[in-house]
Amino acid sequence: MAADARRKRPVTDLHFLSATQAAAAIAARTLSPVELMQALLQRIWRLDPRLNVFIQLDGEAALAAARAAEAEIMAGRPRGPLHGVPVGIKDIIDVAGLPTTCHSKILRGNIAKADAVCVAKLRQAGAIVLGKLSTHEFAIGGPSFDLPWPPARNPWNRDHHPGGSSSGSGAGVAAGLFPMALGSDTGGSVRNPASCCGIVGLKPTYGLVSRRGVFPLSFTLDHVGPMTRTVADNALMLEAIAGHDPLDPGSAAGVPGRYAARLDRGVRGLRVGFVRHFHETDQPADPAVTAALEQVARCLQEEGADLRDVTLPALGAFRDVNRIILQSEAWAIHAPWLRERPGDYGQLARRRLLAGAFMAAGDYVEAQRLRTSMIARVEEALRDVDVLLCASSMDPACRIDNPADIERTYPRQARVPFNVTGHPAIAMMAGLSANGLPLSVQFVGRYFDEALLFQVARAWEKATGTDGKHPPIE
C-alpha cells in the first residue's frame, strides 16, 4: 500500500467513506483494507455500547480477512468490485460459523452451517463480514426490552428508535460503523430503518435477490435488500447480490442488470407520479413530512421531471392485505414453537405472531385475490409514469421508551403496498425535522427496473446533498 497516503490520512476520515470510495481506494492501493478495518473496529468499540448495533461482532475474523484482502491486492488478485469493503449482516441471515439468533431466546446458540446465498455473493465480490446485527425478534417483535440483547438505537438521537426490523443495519450504516449492510423487508423492514436513520434502503423486485439462508417471516412477502449511505453504493451492492437461485422457490429467472449504469443521467423528461393521497388523506402525515415530500416534488420538477398526480388503492386496503398474508404465513412458521415454548418469545413478537392463529383460510385466499387486483392497479399506473413518488414514514422516529407512541406510529407508513405488489421501492432522506431527526421519501419503480429507480434517487441525492448528512454522534 502507499505508505505516504496512509500517513497523511487521519483515521477519523475513514468511517464515512462510501463503499464505492473505499473499493476504489483499495483497488488503487491508496487505502489498505487493514487500515479501514482497524478504523471501523475502533469506532465500533467506542460507539456500539451506546447504540447496540451488534449482536455478535466478529472482529478478529474480519481483521484476518482484511489482511488476506490486502495480500490479494498486492498480488494483483482482487476478488471483485467490493474487495476489502466491510459489511454488516442482519441476524436473520446466515453467516457460516456464527449464530443466527433472530434476536430471540428461541434460537440462542443456533450456529449457521453455511452462508446465505446473499452473503456468499458479497464474499465473492470481495466484501468482508464484520458480524451479526440487531433486529426485531424474528423481524416482527420490537423494539423490545425483554429479549436476550437490547434493541438498537438511533444514532441521530439515542432516545429514539432506529426503525425496524433491520434496526442494527440502519443504525450501524448511519453511524459510520460500516458502509453497507444487508436487511430484509416484509412490510417495510429495510425502508423503515433507512427512513428513521437517514440512509438509502432498497426493497428490490420480489425474487431478484435469493432468500435462501434467510429465516422467513412471510414466504410471499419477504425480500432481502441493500442498506447504504449513498445511492451509488446501493446500486453497487445490488449488483453483487442479485441473481436467480433455482433453490429459492420465489426467485425470479430474470438476468440482473447493470444497476449503476444510469446514475447520473438526471430526471429530465421522466414522468414522476406523485401518490399524494397516501399522506394527505389515507394517513395524514406530520406537517414536516408533508413539507419535505413537496420539496422533493419541486426539486424533481426543477430538474426537468414531468410531475403528475397518481391514485392507487387506499393505503388501508394495502395494509389489511399485507397483515392477513403476513400473519397467516408467519403462524405457519412459528406455530410449533408458539405451542411448545411461548414464554421464550418476547411479549411483542408473541402477541403479533399469535394473531395468525385466528386467521381463517378464507381470509388468506381473499387477501391473495385482492393482492392480484392491487398488482394490476400499480402496473396500470406505471404504464403512464416512469416512477412513483410517495411517503415512506408519516412521522419522524418517536422515542424508543414510549410503547404507546411506537404502537401508534409504526403502522403510519406507505411501505406495505409494495411488499404486497412486489415492485422495487427505495427509501431515503428527504430532510431533517425541527429536532434534527431524518424525514424520508420513497420512490417506486417497474419490476426489474432498479436502474431507473436509482437514477431518480441519485438525482434527488445530488441536488440536495443528502449523502453528505450524517448523525452528530462521535
Q: Which positions are annotated as active-site residues?
A: 90, 165, 189
Residue 87, C-beta contacts closer than 8 angstroms, at least 6 positions apart: 122, 127, 128, 129, 130, 178, 179, 180, 181, 182
**Which residue, chain included where needed, has cell 403502522?**
411
CA distances from 189 to 186, 372, 461 (A): 6, 22, 22
Q: Rounded to 5 degrees, what are φ and ψ at 180? A: -155, 155
Give the gyration radius of the chain's Cα atoms.
21
If DSSP states are collapsed to H, E and C, what string results for 422-444? CCCEEEEEEEECCCCCEEEEEEE
| Neighbour count for residue 279 (Cβ, 10 Å) | 23
The strand pairing partners of 438, in sequence order, are 432
CA distances from 60 to 10, 147, 149, 318 (A): 23, 26, 21, 45
Contacts of 186 (CB under 8 A, 6+ apart): 139, 140, 165, 217, 218, 221, 222, 223, 326, 419
Q: ∠ CA 242-243-249 to the nearest 5 degrees? A: 115
Question: Based on the number of CB atoms within 10 Å of its own CB, is 474 exposed (0-12), middle (13-18) or buried (19 or more)?
Answer: exposed
User: Whole-angstrom Cα distance, residue 314 to residue 440?
Assistant: 20
Determine the Cα angle at 133 with ends 128 and 134, to 5°: 175
Output the CA–CA distances (angstroms, integers) from residue 203 to 221, 224, 421, 431, in the order listed. 11, 7, 12, 21
